[in-house]
Structure 1
């Protein structure tokens, strides 16, 4: 049995972890929900009485999955019976791949297309309707258990978009392809019409844990609930999240009510909470709490509780002077307040605002590095074999990375086996040794990866061109990556194709982080600096529930900061019809005594 030391968990965390039944846990920002999840997983793994059952943990991102797995391993607990990843990865691994033969569209095999391939197909299908101003952005959709819903808020375009989607789905079906959203559609369809699937899965899993439940879609709830319902008393659930941080509503995410999930899953969940914030100063908590939508309790237990936080709001900066204002605030925090560069994050609502600004910041402050999730220079498709291999190619052998890289190598061998490649002479360790032996002198990131991929397969004496899946994945990876680099360079990030930028993707951040509000969710920094906080951007001008979602975004933004928070609604930024954007209403109307940062 896994046992922790006194003081590892507070009373709220310990109560949630020790609860024998199913739990519905509402956790405020910085409350240690990841720690509670980690210890719960460790405890459940140590309780497994057979090697035939698994603990399943569903996270919002792959990065979160890696972090939690490594934390569990650091506790000395065997993770061989832990499956952890996103809901899309779960549906692929446990539903589509083993049971796709029961669906006519999947039974002859399928490939998941990446974002670039998706966009190229939509551009082709939208081309005849340019006069009607139909673009690929109008074609976004998400699935519910009843069918798909359009993300386009202009109802005048709906008829044409639905016609385009009919062609889109037909083309994918002809090519035996599915996109990211269709993973959920087919998974739900399979379990709906094949009840034995959920019964089998419920026998395999002892517990399902769901992180960030407030960003979960209805169809995702339906899939998880169906498995829990089939498990009856055999399975338990541990559902964690914060309804105040539900900022993915336009993509179908929403915080389900406790009672609704109970009814859907056919189980009882004990509602519990984590109310102690270990991240932010009392002043920061007081500020972001003003944007709460859900009435939750938050109490500061941070080591920085009494820190004299600077919280500023600037509405008079002109767009032309924005760069100098950002430089001033960065230097103020580093030089006067002693904040490390890696503990500073610059945030804007949209990546298009950040790309050009990043280029100018790099030029103005060459002494600092800049990192960011929006600056990933190659295609991020977790199902693409070459993306998985790039993780090993772009990271160096070191004691701290050994376990992670060994796990990646094992995943690659599993993929090769599924494709039909003979790997009987290989182990994860031997594959890793072959990768570590490759030395390439190349400054261009894509050329480096091409050379690495060729060298490793030459060393393994495997011609990957003989395997259609590997060949298709290879072409898709490089086409998508080149398109992404071209786009980022066009937006102003000329440095993005360099091998240095490639290597940063899988390294801990060392410089100032650049991120969108959605991208910064789940992270924390000593100082957060945000600009373009303007009505029409926060909230988005097409958001029908804009004011409530603006509050949630400001709540997320403010709660990322430990010590200092600087907010800017600049002047002189115009929309497509030359109207000037005004400050975000929820921000402008907030009653708070802000600090001056100019020494006045």
Structure 2
């Protein structure tokens, strides 16, 4: 391939980066500025120019998926033998190869999760912890190991770092020491020890160092702002005294300091390598000028070392809609309104998979799951069990691999549907949340088969299994046609057409635990990451109270200062939120209800239910039949909690039915008479004719 043709289509700054073929090189790349494009073209240009051989390049990133994407781009650029890996996968490969020579004996077993071993170590120290406590303790041990803090130094180290231990610091140190001893005794290796041991054998064995450095001579490290001291130790061992290193990152996207990451290696790169080439990528190809203005404004007051490296993004896309700022009286009103606005967006043509609701803590997800279900909008929760780790997907992939050499007489998509049928892929989604989630996972695999068949006519089962294996290796889950619910941390590296940033109040953004100036600045960067996930539509909202009727004492996030309109312009949205939400009390005990499902039922979840079980069964049977006829998931008609509320209230007329949460004007008109007939013990008349495009029922709002 002509080396110069590889550079076609790069903008001036990307071109400068790609032409800087020898290190040290530092690429400061703002959100959406095409950093992966720049570094892959730089690598391919170096390979085709004869600067370095493919197999001597090691490109390191932080996720299996990002490494897979980099390998795919390099293949397309004619450099398929370049090694693009995570720190951990590169370390596993090297340690496995050199273990017999450097250490000998049986190779340790690599553990992916510390929870079980931490629980055993805590028990040996006389501590009994719940799962949340064990997660916190495991996180603290990971931070200690990533920052090279030993058990004996832990108490002093957290004081110096301004860190708060999840339990008495001496207890953390005791469990940490017991955990390390336990891993040695049982020949176990966690990810941190894997990196440390790999660096150790390179540093202590000159002959191994020579072989590693002869193999890899050209280094690229992506997301360099997220490197921790342990990863830097391994990188330095790989490099030795060489400087053919290209680092890429954005100090204003450092959001993992709690896990030991530090932007200091990126911000201090020029000091460490005074002769380094520094390139700034600032042309934003992802977001509209309106979104970019919010992103730039979010960092205008940034403090600390990242301030001098702040990148002022320059939008390259055409104008889009202005960001929407909305204040609500309470959280349920916020969730309900966001769900309705999402339904309207989907109705206007925005695909559901291109919409995301982002929040600071995972606990905020439940309200939006319920609100989207009530609005008839499908969704998926990111950060739950990873797609290919779900039990039903493991079983499905195993079964599909077994059919790899089967007959190709039938079309691929039909074959995959037949194989997945016995595993639970029924023609229509089942009832119940867990059953529906399992069905949706299998449906995503079936949709992937249809996509493969459409892109590659004549594709066989063997082709499909190859595609599956590649996706399993890179954790590249199939796309699901649903709105994404995700924490801001788990949204890093992703993007959507429409993003709803919710819960933007003091105490949540920044989080209440952020007390030091450094912690506040990390929260500001997290907010910036959330804003820059949006391509076109950006909505920012907050609620003044947790529950309806509660004291409206919350304040909008300080990060909105200078961005949002003056407060008088929000009066109408506050009036709207008051109309949408009212105080709901348990009809059994009188407690004010805040949970969305409990508000719908008008009783606490643990208060005794009083409903007609036979009526509830008739309602579910009718809903199932209506869903099959309209070819939509059953929960789009009514959710389980709405049906239970109907069975508890047994309305006599449309007015009474309309007062049940989840029965809005559209659903009342569409299904009201049928529901009332069932409540009266009659068979409903034929209803629910399918809309002409077959989709309106799924997108209706209340």
> What is the distance in 1 between the residues matched to 2:187 and 2:490?
32
Identify the residue that residue 118 of structure 2 maps to in structure 1: 122
Q: Unaligned 5+ residue runs, structure 1?
A: 398-408, 410-425, 427-432, 446-488
> Aligned residue for 1:221?
232
Provide the rounded CA distance (Å) in 2 between the counterparts of 1:107 and 1:388: 36
> Equivalences for 1:11-90 in 2 at 5 Å?
11-22=12-23, 23-47=25-49, 53-75=55-77, 77-79=78-80, 81-90=81-90
From 240, 244, 263, the equivalent of 2:248 is 240
Quote the residue 2:260 is aligned against: 252
Q: CA deviation at 1:144?
A: 4.4
**Does 1:138 pair with 2:169?**
no
Instruction: Quote the offset at 1:330 in angstroms.
Output: 0.6
Task: Give SS of 1:240's match.
Answer: strand
1:346 and 2:317 correspond: no
Which SS does the other structure have where 1:56 is aligned? strand
Structure 2 equivalent of residue 275 of structure 1: 282
Partner of 1:369: 378
Alignment partner of 1:169 is 2:169: no
1:318 aligned onto 2:330: yes
1:530 aligns with 2:501: yes
Deviation for aligned residue 1:68:
1.7
What is the aligned-residue RMSD (CA, Å)?
3.9
Give the whole-Å Cα distance in 1 for the aligned partners of 2:219 and 2:270. 14
Alpha carbons of 1:442 and 1:322: their partners in 2 closer, same or farther (altered >3 Å)? farther
Give, in angstroms, the shift of residue 220 of structure 1: 1.1
Q: Is the 8 A contact 2:255 2:526 kept in 1?
A: yes
Asked if the contact 2:388/2:477 (under 8 Å) is kept, the reply is no
| CA distance in structure 2 between the partners assigned to 1:196 and 1:147 by the alignment | 29
> How far is 1:328 from its partner?
2.1
Aligned counterpart, 2:632? none
Once the two structures are TM-superposed, the CA of residue 281 in structure 1 deviates from its matched residue by: 1.6
Partners of 2:22 and 2:244 within 8 A in 1: yes
Note the C-alpha offset of 1:396.
9.7
Aligned partner of 2:527 in structure 1 is: 554
Q: Does 2:291 correspond to 1:284?
A: yes
Are 2:105 and 1:91 equivalent residues in the alignment?
no
Q: How many residues are aligned here?
A: 498
Q: Displacement, 1:153?
A: 1.4
Shift of 1:6: 6.9
Inter-partner Cα distance in structure 2 for 1:65 and 1:112: 21
d(CA) in 2 for partners of 1:164 and 1:388? 35
Q: Does 1:360 align with 2:370?
A: yes
Structure 2 matches for 1:404-423, cutoff 5 A?
Answer: none
- Asked whether the 8 Å contact 1:377–1:501 carries over to 2, the reply is no
Query: Which runs of structure 2 are paired with 1:406-445 in the superposition (5 Å)?
Result: 439=419, 441-443=421-423
Question: For residues 201-252 of structure 1, what are the alpha-carbon distances to aligned partners after superposition, in whole Å with 9 as ceiling and x for unaligned?
Answer: 221123111111111112212221232234x3xx621211111100011111
SS of aligned partner of 1:9:
coil
Q: Distance in 2 between matches of 1:318 and 1:565?
A: 21
- For the residue of structure 1 that corresponds to 2:5, the secondary structure is coil
Query: Which structure carries more relative contact order (alpha carbon 8 Å, separation 6+)?
Result: 1
TM-superposed CA distance for 1:57, in Å, is 0.8
SS of the residue 2:356 aligns to: strand
Q: State the alpha-carbon separation in 1 of the partners of residues 268 and 519 from structure 2.
A: 25
1:500 aligns with 442
Instruction: Kindly report which structure 2 residues correspond to 1:561-576, keeping only aligned pairs within 5 A, or say none.
Output: 561-573=534-546
* SS of equivalent to 1:564: strand
Sort the Cα spacing of 1:390 and 1:4 in 2 relative to 1 into closer, same or farther, 3 A: farther
- Per-residue deviation at 1:325? 1.6
Q: Is the 8 A contact 2:228 2:261 kept in 1?
A: yes
Kindly tell me: are residues 18 and 551 of structure 1, through their superposed partners in 2, closer, same or farther at Cα, counting changes over 3 Å? same
8 Å contact from structure 1 (residues 344, 525) kept in 2: yes
Q: Secondary structure at the match of 1:192?
A: helix
Q: Distance in 1 between matches of 2:216 and 2:330?
A: 56
Q: Secondary structure at the match of 2:106?
A: coil
Equivalent residue, structure 2, for 1:478: none
| Bigger Rg, structure 1 or 2 | 2
> How many angstroms does 1:168 deviate by?
1.3
Structure 2 residue 195 is the aligned partner of structure 1 residue 184: yes
Give the TM-score taking structure 2 as reference length.
0.63
* TM-aligned CA deviation for residue 139 of structure 1: 3.7
Offset, 1:557: 0.7
Q: Which moved more, 1:221-230 or 1:237-246?
A: 221-230
Deviates more, 1:236-245 or 1:144-153: 144-153
**Superposition deviation, residue 579 in structure 1:** 11
Match of 2:317 in 1: 303
Quick check: 1:199–1:227 contact (8 Å CA) kept in 2?
Answer: no
- Asked if the contact 2:226/2:263 (under 8 Å) is kept, the reply is yes
Aligned 8 A contact 1:126 1:136 in 2: no
Partner deviation per Cα, 1:256-306 (whole Å, 9 max, x = no partner):
345744676x784211111111111212111111222334343434333x2
Structure 2: runs of 5 or more not aligned: 406-411, 426-431, 449-475, 577-702
Q: Distance in 2 between matches of 1:175 and 1:157?
A: 27
Deviation at 1:49, TM superposition (A): 7.6
CA deviation digits over 1:157-188, x for unaligned, max 9? 11101111112122222221112222222223
Q: Is the 8 A contact 2:147 2:260 kept in 1?
A: no
